[in-house]
Chains A and B, each alone.
Chain A
Amino acid sequence: MAAVQDGQVESDAEKETKPDASNDVAGNSSGGARSMSPNAASSASGAAKAAAPTGPGEQQTLLAVLQFLKRSKLLESVDILRREAGLSDELDESQTNDGAAAGSASLLRRVSVGGAAATNIAATTTSKGAEDQPDVSIVLSAYSQQGDPALYQVYYSGLKNFIESVLDCHRAELSQLFYPLFVHMYLELVYNNHEHEAKVFFEKFSGDQECYYRDDLRVLSGLTKKEHMKGNETLLDFRTSKFVLRISRDSYQLLKRHLQERQNNQIWLIIQEHLYIDIFDGMPRSKSQIDSMSGSLAGEARREANKAKVYYGLLKEPEIEVPLDDEDDEAENEEGKPKKKKPKKDNLGSKNKKQDPNAPQQNRIPLPELKDSDKLDKIMSMKEATKKIRLGPDTLPSICFYTFLNAYQGLTSVDVTDDSSLIAGGFADSTVRVWSVTPKKLRKVKSAADLNLIDKEADDVLERIMDEKTASESKILYGHSGPVYGISFSPDRNYLLSSSEDGTVRLWSLQTFTCLVGYKGHNYPVWDTQFSPYGYYFVSGGHDRIARLWATDHYQPLRMFAGHLADITCTHFHPNSNYVATGSADRTVRLWDVLNGNCVRIFSGHKGPIHSLAFSPNGKYVASGATDGRVLLWDIGHGLMIGELKGHTDTVYALKFSRDGEILASGSMDGTVRLWDALKAFDVETDDFTAATGHIHLPDNSQELLLGTYMTKSTPVIHLHFTRRNLLLAAGGYNSQ
């Protein structure tokens, strides 16, 4: 390509003429020769193409599309587009018939570049570029020929010198610029086929980047060719989304002044185009404050992203008040000890009467009606709850470990029912296995023919429909065609969901132990799925970066939550079922509103893909664990990070709050279960200022919060569950290697 050769020629020339000492001079002169200061640039380009109502960049794009359509002989579309865009034939014709189509081609290539630079290049390439046809993909891409590749290093080190020389308070903030600038400059170099320069650039400056970007840098360093950029998802994200930085107004002014002084329009352009700088008034943040929040693929969350009101309160449970009486009576009659339960039920009833101001409307989203069996179960659970042990730093839970032995197939996921009666494992050999952990064996319902025979009026009809011959301790569910990465029991224990690499989510009946529905929608591996705490709804998320909300009786999703920049690795329902949290490989946690599908919270701060989520039982907090072994705690109401639990040495795959929320248990690949003092961790006062600015001071008190570390023998902990009486169940597959 013309531009390439041109660039290389120039770079060679530069190399010879430019000694290090004259960096700035060279940079300035060349920059100055071809374009003006950042502010001037846009006005110049605006002047050049003022005629077009949509702005120069977009017009170029349109023209390119037109060209493409013409080439593809889609003439009708061309007409329509032309009409709609208000482009005249003449303009188009004049461009294409210019005789020097290359001029337009190279022009088109620049979406938003200063006019001077464009003409410069156009002039130099006019003769060569005739064969160059404008290409949509090129036009649409955000990178274009910019300046002198050899000078990138100069620009970057110039900025580096500047940032290192500013006052300490600003330095930390401005240092945030390094990483996004580095990446974008590198990609520009690669995009424009300056492979060698790109490599030198990478080697020179990659060492300066924060260590938590290491994984991204590794991907980046593997990428040395323009062709590779297509289809590389990580980079696609980088190009399409703006990297968000939070910088105080003072620091920003400082930076702006510097860039204007130096006429460093290259960097300025990148900042304008690819970065989103969230300016706030007030004190610049400290390094630790910045570090705690940064690390995600697209920088920090914008402040306004976390401003929406979230109804994090719990729904009151109306069904307990009236129906409980009947059901309770029934239960009592069966058990023959009616007196004991009455007062208890009253307590529960009164407790549920006060409405949580933060709770959503009861009917904000429609929830399934409770069936009789659900009510019975609720009663059971309450009875159990009264026997529950109050945990605390002094009374730690007992831990039972469910070890999956001989799991040669590879245990990939585990779930336990709320009443801890069943445990299910998803395996890499595409099977789902369900075990009964109580003496009660698993039985199938009889076949239809046999069901006809039974007496439907009998009291024990529910017992009679079960086929005693099929009783066994475990059942295997076959149906998936890839590893089962996520499973979830329905709250009523009648169904089981499984999500698999084959792109489907399947719903299984635990009565017949057959597959009922295969939900197709994700075309890529589905990493996780979870039932709503009220049943009926479930959420799934996977490699396609879209979390979907489903209802069991709809074969298509009800909501699609799009916004993550990388795979969704875990999904979790808020206890009130109105929100869904998703953790992603883009290192953010997002909270989505089930009602309208909006993203209401973005939590950034993790330094690795997030693999576990847990809501506190009161719905106010969410904890997330990532591959870096850290657990972060978030206040949903304020949209703030409120704690960091360091201790695990490997991916945290399981998180669970105790039934009353006093203890947070975390299980990890490193084969340990750790217990944390959740009450103390949440006992952070958030003043208005912090809430408003989102600047948090995290106390480094992981060691104080850690209540215990419990080792397994070579068994990664992949699921945790608190029984209704607060006994902690942990599960994992024994790893014999």
Chain B
Amino acid sequence: MAEREERRFAEVSRDSVKLMAESAGVEVGDEVAALLAEDVCYRLREAAQNSSQFMRHAKRRKLTVEDFNRALRWSNVEAVCGYGAQDALPFRPAKEGELFFVEDRDVNLVNLALATNIPNGCAETMVRVHVSYLDGKGNLEPQGTVPSAVQSLSEDLLKYYQQITRAILGEDPHLMKVALLDLQTNSKIAALLPYFVYVISGVKSVSHDLEQLNRLLHMVKSLVQNPYLYLGSYVRSLVSSVMYCILEPLAASINPLNDHWTLRDYAALLLSHIFWTHGDLVSGLYHQILLSLQKVLSDPVRPLCSHYGAVVGLHALGWKAVERVLYPHLPAYWANLQAVLDDYSVSNAQVKADGHKVYGAILVAVERLLKMKALSLSKPAEGGVGGQQGTAGGVLGFRESSPGLSPPPEPLSEAGLGIASHLQAGGAGCPWEDWTPVPLPAMYCELYSFFGDSLAVRFSTGPELEGCLPALPCQPADARKETVANAAAGLDNSRKMPQLTANLNISPRPDGSPHTEPPPPSLAGDGLNAEDTFHDVHRVPGQRSAGPSRDVFPKARFPPPQAGPPSFSFLIGGRQMGRRCQGRRFQTSFGPQPPLASLPPRAYAHKLPVIGRVSKPVRRWTCSHYSLHLPL
């Protein structure tokens, strides 16, 4: 049994046998060791060959330790224990000497015991059936699609998910901010989307806790703003969660001390944001939202806070929504509201307070409706120019007045056209063109009958819109309004230009219709480049007119650089509402741009991403003054 010259199989060497014998405390001679080694080799081969039978009958390609053990048991040999792990054991050489060993990593039991990532158990074994081939032809659907339980998350993702959710729902506001910011910018969390959506759908279970609701809504916002996420049909789920916050009589509202109004405002804002940016992902979404809002509004049994939610929701969706849903309902609703407001009994005090909220919300919505209506009417007459200008002014004014405590979603201004484009494209409601609105004067009269002077007063308070009311009945007022708008715009010019700069060189100008109004674009092109820190996308004309290209926009939502708008503000009047009003912040952005949708050509549209960059919400707005439903 000399050394073999050529090896047919892996062999156990004489030395190994000796070593093992030594370790067992037996001294073995060379000859014995050689004999043993040879026999061991043979037995191993035999066992391996036998074990392959088990593999074959188990219909596998991979020989497992289990197979080998079974083969050993056949031949009355003790099975090898401790090697049943599924993954391969690394077999390593030691640095010194020709020593090989199976790597056996230390397991930290403490870590294991305290680990928070509890491994998700094996999913249940199940049978799925697919019609794979119909009449022997082709796959109907990809065969063997794996249910989501099978594609397990990687360890890291799971950890990330846990950390993020814990941070967001936890106590530490700073942590929460960090988590939200990461959620907004992380490009690798697509796999976690369903999980987050699921977490968010938990709003229903925390309706008693305003804080948690708020955090969940912030989570929604972060997800929506994350440019790397494709929300797909999850939009629906998100929308339903947000709608829940807007409309449901939350458990938290029972206590009048809870400021659930703010939550509703914020949720409404979020809703419109989701809708404007992701509405195209789900067909008929707009229509559905309107329907459910309308349902709530027309249901007198619902508590006032639900009605309030419906109103702010409509308001958030734009003045068109207000015109189409709220306005027709107003007469019927007014009676109910009036009854509440006229009841001066003590027991009714709380309800009455709620009623005033609703009243204020309606007032704000209606007022915007009137204003926008006026603008939209004026614009066609001016051939778009005035309209645009006016819009700019209007947008500006309201933007300024929106005291966003938390950063407003960037594509706010897009909303105005968004609604129109949606109507046009999706046909979710009646098409824009087919819409026959109530004539403005009639509308005004009717509204006046409800609100009386408060309506007029409110109009008059807005400095830039002063002219509107008088002008309402008559078209000629347009000119004046335009000037007003221009004046307003003039104020903003410093701010508005910058964002026009970069874009407008390529801009819609050439094709962009007869823009007669002097200041904005050209100026922008010229001098104000330096100030481009002021970029504010909301007023970029391109964006306003981006109606047709709206589908492009959401995909190009980049986290915009923080814009530093000047501390320019309008005092509309009344008390400053602070946080409360953040929901309204962008009401004003629903300018009468929609008609302009036809304006920007595609060539312009593809620039939008660049424009989008500047759409960073502004903290500074918080300090702007805003008051709408204050009188209550």
Residues of A that sit less than 8 Å from B by CB: 195, 203, 218-219, 221-225, 227-228, 231-232, 395-413, 423, 425, 427-428, 433, 435, 437, 474, 482-483, 485, 501, 524-525, 527, 543, 567, 569, 585, 609, 611, 627, 651, 653, 669, 675, 707-708, 710-716, 718, 730-731, 733-734, 736-737
What interface size band does chain B fall in? 35 or more
Residue in contact with B150 in the complex, picked from A222, A406, A707, A708, CB distance below 8 Å: A406
| Pairs A–B under 8 Å by Cβ, sample size 23 | A222-B49, A228-B39, A396-B133, A399-B133, A402-B129, A403-B127, A405-B125, A406-B123, A408-B125, A410-B58, A425-B127, A474-B127, A485-B58, A501-B70, A525-B57, A567-B53, A651-B56, A710-B136, A712-B144, A714-B144, A715-B144, A718-B59, A733-B59
Q: Is B124 an interface residue (CB 8 A)?
A: yes
Tell me whether B136 and A397 are in contact (CB under 8 A). yes
State whether A433 touches B56 (Cβ < 8 A).
no
B142 at the A/B interface (Cβ < 8 Å)? yes
Picked from B53, B124, B142, the residue with its CB within 8 Å of the CB of A406 is B124
Across the interface, name the chain B residue whose C-beta is closest to A608: B56
Report the separation of the CA atoms of residues A413 and B56 in the bound assembly, to the nearest whole angstrom: 12
Query: Which residue of chain A has its CB nearest to the CB of B126?
Result: A405
Partner of A401, one of B54, B74, B130, B134: B130
The answer to whether B42 and A404 have CB atoms under 8 Å apart is no
Q: Which residues of B contact A (CB under 8 A)?
A: 1, 6, 8-9, 38-39, 42, 45-46, 49, 53-54, 56-62, 66, 70, 74-75, 122-137, 142-144, 146-147, 149-150
Q: B144–A609 contact, CB under 8 A?
A: no
Q: How far is the CB of A663 from chain B (nearest CB, A)?
A: 9
Q: Which of A219, A400, A710, A712 contacts B129 (CB 8 A)?
A: A400
Task: Among A401, A669, A736, point to the contact of B59 (Cβ < 8 A).
Answer: A669
Assuming the A-B contacts A397-B136, A400-B130, A402-B129, are A224 and B42 also in contact, with contact meaning beta carbons closer than 8 angstroms in the complex? Answer: yes
Chain A's nearest CB lies how many Å from the CB of B147?
A: 6
Task: Report Cα–Cα, A736/B135, bound state, in Å.
Answer: 28
The complex places the Cα of A71 from the Cα of B6 at a distance, in Å, of 44
* Distance in Å: Cβ of A126 to nearest Cβ of chain B: 28
Closest to A203 in B: B6
**A403 lies within 8 A of B133 (CB):** no
CA distance A232 to B132 in the complex (A): 46
Q: A411-B59, A433-B125, A734-B144 are in contact. Are A398 and B150 (CB under 8 A)?
A: no
6 pairs of A and B residues whose beta carbons are closest in the complex: A396-B136, A713-B144, A399-B133, A222-B45, A406-B123, A401-B132
Chain A residues, Cβ within 8 Å of B57 = 412, 483, 485, 525, 527, 569
- Supposing A485-B57, A609-B56 touch, asked if A402 and B74 sit within 8 A by C-beta, the answer is no
Q: Is the CB of A713 within 8 A of B143?
A: yes
Q: A222-B9, A396-B136, A734-B146 are in contact. Are A611 and B56 (CB under 8 A)?
A: yes
- B74 cross-chain contacts in A, Cβ below 8 A: 524, 543
In the complex, the answer to whether A707 meets B136 with C-beta atoms within 8 Å is yes
* Cβ A627 vs Cβ B127 within 8 A: no
Q: For A653, what are the chain B residues with a Cβ–Cβ distance below 8 Å?
A: 59
User: Please, which residues of chain A bring their CB within 8 A of the CB of B146?
Assistant: 405, 734, 736
Known: A219-B49, A398-B135, A403-B144. 8 other contacts (CB 8 A): A218-B49, A227-B39, A399-B131, A401-B144, A406-B150, A408-B122, A428-B66, A485-B57
Residues of A within 8 A of B150 (CB): 405-406, 734, 736
Closest-by-CB residue of B relative to A391 is B136
Contact present for B136 and A402 (CB under 8 Å): no
| C-alpha spacing A540/B190, complex, angstroms | 52
Contact A406 B8 (CB under 8 A): no
Flag if B133 contacts A225 (CB, 8 Å). no
Which of B53, B142, B149 has its CB near the most chain A CB atoms (within 10 A)? Answer: B53
Most interface-central of B6, B42, B75 (chain A CB within 10 A): B42
Given A401-B144, A412-B58, A669-B59, CB of A225 within 8 Å of CB of B129: no
Complex CA gap A223/B62 in Å reads 25
Query: Quick one: which of A397, A428, A675 has the most chain B CB within 10 A?
Result: A428
Do the beta carbons of B49 and A423 come within 8 Å of each other? no
Q: From the candidates A404, A428, A437, A713, name the one contacting B142 in the complex (CB within 8 A).
A: A713
CB <8 Å contact, A437 and B129 = yes
Are B46 and A423 in contact (CB-based, < 8 A)?
Answer: no
Contact A405/B143 with A225-B38, A410-B60, A718-B59 known, Cβ cut-off 8 Å: no
Are B58 and A585 in contact, CB atoms less than 8 angstroms apart?
no
A716→B122 CA distance, assembly (Å): 21
- Could you tell me if B136 and A222 are in contact, using CB atoms closer than 8 angstroms? no
Question: Chain B residues with Cβ under 8 A from A435's Cβ?
Answer: 126-127
Q: Which residue of B lies closest to A233 (CB)?
A: B50
Report the separation of the CA atoms of residues A412 and B45 in the bound assembly, to the nearest whole angstrom.
Answer: 25
Q: How far is the CB of B51 from chain A (nearest CB, A)?
A: 12
Complex partner residue of B54 from A224, A501, A675, CB under 8 angstroms: A501
Complex Cα gap A684–B8 (Å): 45
Q: How far is the CB of B278 from chain A (nearest CB, A)?
A: 32
Chain A residue nearest to B35 (CB atoms) is A225
Q: Are A223 and B135 in contact (CB under 8 A)?
A: no
Chain B residues in 8 Å Cβ range of A413? 59
Nearest-neighbor residue (CB-CB) of B74 within chain A: A524
Contact partner, B46, options A222, A395, A396, A627, Cβ 8 Å:
A222
Closest chain A CB from B129 CB (angstroms): 5
A404 touching B135 by the CB < 8 A rule? no
Q: Which residues of B contact A483 (CB under 8 A)?
A: 54, 57-58
The contact of B135 among A225, A396, A406, A567, by CB within 8 Å, is: A396
Chain A residues in 8 Å Cβ range of B38: 224-225
Taking a contact as CB atoms under 8 Å apart, the answer to whether A710 and B133 are in contact is yes
A223 to B38, CA, bound (A): 10
Please give, as numbers and ranges, the residues of chain B lying within 8 Å of A423 by CB-CB distance. 127
Listed residue (A203, A221, A405, A410) with the most chain B CB atoms within 10 angstroms of its CB = A405
Instruction: Report Cα–Cα, A713/B139, bound state, in Å.
Output: 11
> Known contacts A219-B49, A401-B132: does B125 contact A409 (CB below 8 Å)?
yes
Q: How far apart are the CA atoms of A411 and B58 in the complex, in Å?
A: 7
**Interchain CA distance A100-B31 in the complex, whole Å:** 32
Residue of B nearest to A611 (CB): B56
Q: A232-B46, A669-B59 are in contact. Are A712 and B124 (CB under 8 A)?
A: no
Across the interface, which residues of A come within 8 angstroms of B136, CB to CB?
A: 396-399, 675, 707-708, 710
Contacts of A731 on B, CB cut-off 8 Å?
A: 127
Minimum distance in angstroms from A373 CB to a CB of chain B? 26
Is A428 in contact with B58, judged by CB distance below 8 angstroms? yes
In the complex the two chains form, is A398's CB within 8 Å of B127's CB? no
Q: Are B143 and A404 in contact (CB under 8 A)?
A: no
Cα–Cα, bound, A737→B88 (Å):
13
Q: Which chain B residues border A412 with CB–CB below 8 Å? A: 57-59
Known A405-B146, A411-B59, A412-B59; judge A437-B127 contact (CB<8 A).
Answer: yes
